[in-house]
Amino acid sequence: MGQTGTLDKAATAAGRLILEALGEERPARSLSRLIDSPRAVRLLRELFTVAVRRSFVGRESRDVTRYVRDLLDYQSLPAAGELARETEAMIRGAIGEPELAHGVPELRRFELICHVVGDLARPPGVPPAELFALVDQAEQRVARFDRPRNRVVGRRAM
């Protein structure tokens, strides 16, 4: 696991669950098992936004296409069709083109978030301190957006 140093630094139980999953051998699969925890799923969505923005904002948009191809190839998933387009739509949706991801079904969104977060935020590629900062920022976003004054009526928590 190797995350004991950062596990106790996460403020929330959901944060600790995610850190634990990221420390597993197959992070994407471990993250996908959190689907029954609404708080973990909510936090995971914000972690996806934070991780994607830190990785891709300011870079050439075609880097996203290349990254998706590499990621899906590495995961032995089909990289030339709909899955690749949906993954690109999710990533570009998080960095300023939200309309692209409107057609992606909810369950598929969750699967793709697990794959991308499991890749972008997995240790040892991301040092523990940086990983903690990512989760902390995601927790702050959850707290900010879930304040009563910021809540969007009818918005479904994933």
Partner 1 sequence: MKKNRRRSHLEPPVTEEPAEQPAAESARRRLRRVEEEPPPESPVIGALSGQLPPGVPGGSGAIVTDAGRYLRQAARDEAPSRFGSPAGDVDESARRVWEIAFGLMVRRRFDPEAALAEISRTVAVAAHDHAAAGLALLDAEMLVRAALGESVPVGDIDEGVVIAVHLLLFASLADELALGDAELDAIIAEAEEKASALMAVCASVRRPAPPSAP
Interface residues with partner 1 (CB under 8 A)?
60-62, 65, 68-69, 78-85, 88-89, 97, 99-100, 103
Q: How far is the CB of 4 from partner 1 (least distance, A)?
A: 40
Q: Tell me whether residue 40 or residue 64 sits nearer to partner 1 (CB atom).
A: 64
Q: How far is the CB of 80 from partner 1 (least distance, A)?
A: 4
Q: Tell me whether residue 100 or residue 133 sits nearer to partner 1 (CB atom).
A: 100
Q: How far is the CB of 27 from partner 1 (least distance, A)?
A: 24
Q: Tell me whether residue 104 or residue 113 sits nearer to partner 1 (CB atom).
A: 104
15-18: long-range contacts, CB 8 A cutoff, minimum separation 24? 15/43, 15/135, 15/136, 15/138, 15/139, 18/43, 18/44, 18/47, 18/135
Enumerate residues 6+ apart whose C-beta is below 8 A from 80.
none
Q: Tell me whether residue 62 or residue 156 sits nearer to partner 1 (CB atom).
A: 62
Letter for the amino acid at 28?
A: A
Question: How far is the C-alpha of 86 from the C-alpha of 92, rounded, in Å?
Answer: 10
